[in-house]
Structure 1
């Protein structure tokens, strides 16, 4: 399934593998059950929904002004979570609100905040948006007799815990910043941390293929590419015409990367200035590393500088990292809010147009993956991209 929608800042696509759909029992958005019936493997269904047709529509009665003191502060990894304007939090943290139980983990948003009060919006994050839904049938099995089992509301599966959270509220920047938000558990010199090569990847092979596919769709055929914060695992598409320059922290790791035509060791946290001339590249790609930058806005400004007009910047990430070196703010955010944070970096450069976000979730983890006994679900993939004006 692919859910497509557009905010004021960007276009968004959410891809989700829907496993074991039961057309006779499950709950679908309007017209979808009828459209899927009698379709064969490989069939594609496309449906358009107006705002409020597939998810609950916007209701002003779900916006509440409450005392700021009602915010249920929590401590995570030694840090106190405080309310911030524009951020999403579990509804149960937002105080005593009609119809909201403390255990409610669905997202609600703080849309205004002062010293004494906060305004919280309990509407669905997609309540105001038109939605385009495309379903591609990957497999069809005969129905067997069942005496029980689950009943799935598929729109809730697709859209209730993430999509929409990456968009700004009425084009106003989200207050992502928290005290010491750019600090890390390990503040020792990064050069020492990365001195010894770490020949490990942060994605399973299925998620890596998805990331490569997204890059392949966006990169020009014969592009000169800067692989920013490069390492041993390449996520570049299988296109020998790409000329890839790697910039990373460890020469041995980059030497093991078969896609790099050249490499350069450079610490962006010590010096965010990229050692390249203006307009040197057709594309800059940063994979699984944006969470380690302590001056990310400066680095993205540099990415814009070294790109040619029309060049692409692509930032991909998942939910796995070196926890001692990731910025604390990153770990406090919902995965979809992390896309919103990276999107804010793009907007902060004032150099990019045609901004897009993509999420890919809930695929099967490959059976030969070392983490298969921990989870059967593949690592999620998130990408934010834009074109230099």
Structure 2
């Protein structure tokens, strides 16, 4: 490690960027009270910290194996089926090939603690054996790591606390899963997805829910994302919307059309230029002309669509060429109406599932995913201090690459 001229604590945003076969992925992690002397940073970045100022970003590229160990065939193992638990932390699990599970469910076979949450991917399952992949989901990939200095704290103030290992912090918890996720066939073959409550959605949503479905910090993050990806003056469709479209002031001049289930919620949504009522689970055909919008957004709702691929095909139809479809969500949902297998998946697998919806729909390309984790939860949030961190924001988007023709 090189000497570090800076001292004290800082608020730092760590960003990991990587490329899979057909998508660009960005993982963002906010670290409060990053300590220049205590915390562990790759040497390439340490060497750039001399003269690092608030508002500046340092960035380096890393070859495969520099940050994450190379992929090893020795980490492809087979264990006895009776050595794999059927529950984890009290929740039942169903082993599915392609899905990720905590290593702790096979603690006896892998000789780890039952609380071990490091991911392993299920390769295959039989009555007698389970083949698993213990390689890190990012193994074998070139990576770009950057750090943005938001704010330097008082350099003279001593601070205790745990040591942050920057690479471990940003790569733990699931990054990479979205590229390796293999969607079960019913999710993409047109089979209507199942839910706990298969009752009439119009009746379930008939009472207005004028409450926030994410905390204020997550709302700020999604608003910033929409402002970054959608041009000013765009015609925007807010799909499966409610009383808040989460659009920034920079898009105030845009025409925003809302589509949702509850008229009272739509009526009080001040971002909307107009709205229409429709139950997309009863009829996924959008009531708009071809190529009507520059952008379509779907916030905290994709997990309720029982015909997701049909809906994504419709979004492609109503988008102009080079239009963007942005899907965002957090780790909160209505348990009765969320589609299966959403509750059994991690947030990064959710992004992988949404990517599969895009691919199955066709007419999209230039896929992106982005995760934003670690920002502090606002002190006035009703879940503070039970949850100290803001809701993690996950986003997936794709660009319409060609207009539809009669033949397509």
Contact 1:211 1:316 (C-alpha < 8 Å) held by counterparts: yes
- 1:276 matched to 2:288? The reply is yes
- Matched residue, 1:46: 59
Corresponding residue to 1:319 among 298, 308, 331: 331
Give the Å deviation of 1:110: 1.4
Which structure 1 segments of 5+ residues have no match?
none
TM-score w.r.t. the length of structure 1 is 0.92
1: CA distance, partners of 2:194 / 2:89: 15
- Matched residue, 1:345: 357
SS at match of 1:213: helix
TM-score w.r.t. the length of structure 2 is 0.88
- 1:302 matched to 2:317? The reply is no
- Matched residue, 2:100: 88
2: CA distance, partners of 1:250 / 1:32: 50
- Matched residue, 2:223: 212
Task: Choose 361-370 or 158-167, whichever is displaced more.
Answer: 361-370
- Matched residue, 2:29: 16
Corresponding residue to 1:175 among 179, 184, 204: 184
2: CA distance, partners of 1:176 / 1:98: 30
2: CA distance, partners of 1:55 / 1:142: 33
Corresponding residue to 2:344 among 332, 343, 348: 332
Deviations 1:305-353 (A, max 9, x none): 2112211111010112222221241111111111111111011112111
Contact 1:51 1:131 (C-alpha < 8 Å) held by counterparts: yes
Instruction: Give aligned pairs, total.
Output: 384
Give the Å deviation of 1:69: 4.1
Contact 2:107 2:113 (C-alpha < 8 Å) held by counterparts: no
2: CA distance, partners of 1:218 / 1:190: 31
2: CA distance, partners of 1:135 / 1:148: 22
Deviations 1:102-151 (A, max 9, x none): 33111011134455433211111111211111111011134457595322
Corresponding residue to 2:200 among 174, 184, 189: 189
- Matched residue, 1:381: 393
Corresponding residue to 1:231 among 232, 242, 247: 242
Corresponding residue to 1:133 among 145, 148, 158: 145
- Matched residue, 1:66: 79
Task: Choose 322-331 or 114-123, whichever is displaced more.
Answer: 114-123
SS at match of 1:111: strand
SS at match of 1:39: coil
Contact 1:85 1:174 (C-alpha < 8 Å) held by counterparts: no
SS at match of 1:149: coil
